[in-house]
Amino acid sequence: MKKVIKTIATAALVFAGFFAFNAGTTTSASAATKTTTSFSSVYKVAKSHLGARYVYGATGPSSFDCSGFTGYIYKKGAKVTLPRTAQAQYNSLKHVTYKNIKKGDLVFFGGSTYSISHVGMYIGKGKMIDAQNRGVVREAVHAPWWHAVGYARVNTPAATDAD
């Protein structure tokens, strides 16, 4: 019974924290919405961390959780600061459809766009790179164990039209 109460209390705190965080947060990612993502530099950083360990709450450089990974690769590869959690990243970015997804866009997973629990970076041909329980890996966006609920574009000041 104590475990159930603890789980409910933890979920309530996370839920309340999410709304408190999003109510007054501005990010440099949203300030850079007029440019295109520089995929190659971000992907280079991401590839260099393939195989890194997954640790909940970790933000790199030797271990990551999913949003810690996307935040790290965009900070190092494009000088863009993303919010800390997958939900906050989704909420702060310009949304795109899967039909219009481009390399470097973020793919979000969960029960709905209001309960996002995972994020990865799209790398083309239906694949993404992400940090998960197996560490940093490349895998299919539409794998049977993921439920994609949204896609978003991270725009960077260092982008070129060639991307």
The residue annotated as part of the active site, out of 65, 118, 142, 147, is 118
Up-side HSE of residue 125: CA atoms within 13 Å toward CB?
2
The residue annotated as part of the active site, out of 49, 65, 66, 105, is 66
The residue annotated as part of the active site, out of 49, 65, 105, 130, is 130
The answer to whether 142 is a known catalytic residue is: no
The answer to whether 118 is a known catalytic residue is: yes
The answer to whether 66 is a known catalytic residue is: yes
Query: What amino acid positions are annotated as catalytic residues?
Result: 66, 118, 130
